[in-house]
Structure 1
């Protein structure tokens, strides 16, 4: 097995494992005892902000790794997720979750754009689409719980 193939499998495994706090938080927000539901929603929000910030770091690293035209723009765009995530934690939890959801959609849109996907293997973009889709669905699940 080639090292590249092994790296791909590890990335998929870790990416999917990174969904566990989103899924657990979403499920606990509905079915845990009430005190745990509150904790689950806040834990979900905090984890969401951390992961959104991490996605900016992916583009920061890509821009620094290989000199390309447009890297300055990519470095600036790489800061956007953190600048969305941090203030989202300062809002009430419902507003914050909406802001985080929009942040995931925005950075996901950039990831699949011509500029955003430059330098990444095709399998990475598939992984990002799967992860962003699940994350978005679980944000909606938690937001639906907060509405009820």
Structure 2
């Protein structure tokens, strides 16, 4: 079964809101003013995207860790090691200013997609996993592009 379960799809798409809102505020300065006045400066522009992106990479480390628990022996060990990479990447690579951080997040999410594929190929992820991850990753990367352009 390759159909994405409805709750996973809905929650995955809802998880894109901070990325999309951040992109909108990068491209439309009037939204920065509104957002700053109504929800706070931390929740507009690249700030919301960069902080949330680091959180999501860390969250995805936990998801991969969960997949690794389905393996045994050396495959499990390799899975655990690979599963911490997205969180470490977010921790070490998202400082230094918005453009550099956004470029590093894009690289991190693309590398995460490769890790997703690896776990999926090992049949540790559900059959529908890559359909969801490709969709979400494409939108995340596209939403981060206005920061780096």
Alignment-derived partner of residue 140 in structure 1: 145
- Measure how far apart 1:122 and its partner are: 2.0
Q: Say whether the 8 Å CA contact 1:88–1:97 is kept in structure 2.
A: no
> Which protein has the bigger helix share?
1
Contact 2:98 2:147 in 1 (8 A): no
Q: Which stretches of structure 1, 4 residues or more, deviate above 6 A after TM superposition?
A: none
Gaps of 5+ in 2: none
**SS of 1:91's equivalent?**
coil
Query: If the length of structure 1 is used for normalisation, what is the TM-score?
Result: 0.82
1:71 aligns with 2:76: yes
CA distance in 1, matches of 2:92, 2:74: 31
Q: CA deviation at 1:121?
A: 1.9
Q: How many angstroms apart in 2 are the aligned matches of 1:60 and 1:110?
A: 11
Quote the RMSD (CA, aligned, Å). Answer: 2.3
What is the CA–CA distance in structure 2 between the aligned matches of 1:69 and 1:88, rounded to whole Å? 28
Show the counterpart of 2:58.
53
Which ranges of structure 1 fall in alignment gaps of 5 or more residues? none
Is 1:15 equivalent to 2:12 in the alignment?
Answer: yes
Equivalent residue runs for 1:112-127 within 5 Å = 112-113=117-118, 116-117=119-120, 118=122, 119-127=124-132
SS of alignment partner, residue 122 of structure 1: coil
Residues 1:40 and 2:38 aligned together: no
1:29 and 1:142 in contact (8 A); partners too:
yes
1:10-42 deviations in Å (ceiling 9; x for gaps): 111100110111111101111133555874211
